Amino acid sequence: MGKGVNPAYQSGAISIQMVTAILVLVIIGYLAYRLVPPYVTYYRVKGVFESELRREDPVEQRANIEYKLREMIYSPIRLEDVKFERDARTGALAIWADYSVTVRLPGGYTKTLVFHPAVASEK
């Protein structure tokens, strides 16, 4: 045989590098499948808080936040977790919550992600 293409590649054999690359992509995909949804939920919760900052009525704010949190398919946060605070001097409103999500990973490992969505008006 002279110089040219390796016969193993001509026969359709898969190289070790290709198997490794596929395995790494599968692992990355699985980790993204497990870890991305809690972060998406965090940004959705923060968006709910931001949309309610414009309302003046605190009862309406709570009701809308509760409704929107229940509407979410996956929401680890309850209305009891949501805190409201209005600055007596400036009238600025702050809405925040603290919650955590435990994610199960392969091999029996778990990872606890802690989130603190918070927004404040600029009054």
User: How many residues does the structure list for the chain?
Assistant: 123
Write down the pTM of the prediction: 0.75
Tokens of 94: 């702050």
pLDDT in tens, 78-104: 888 899 888 888 888 899 999 999 999
64: three-class secondary structure by DSSP:
helix
- Rounded to an integer, what distance in angstroms lies between the CA atom of residue 113 and that of residue 67? 24
pLDDT of residue 46: 92
- Rounded to an integer, what distance in angstroms lies between the CA atom of residue 119 and that of residue 123? 13
What secondary structure letter does DSSP report for 79? G
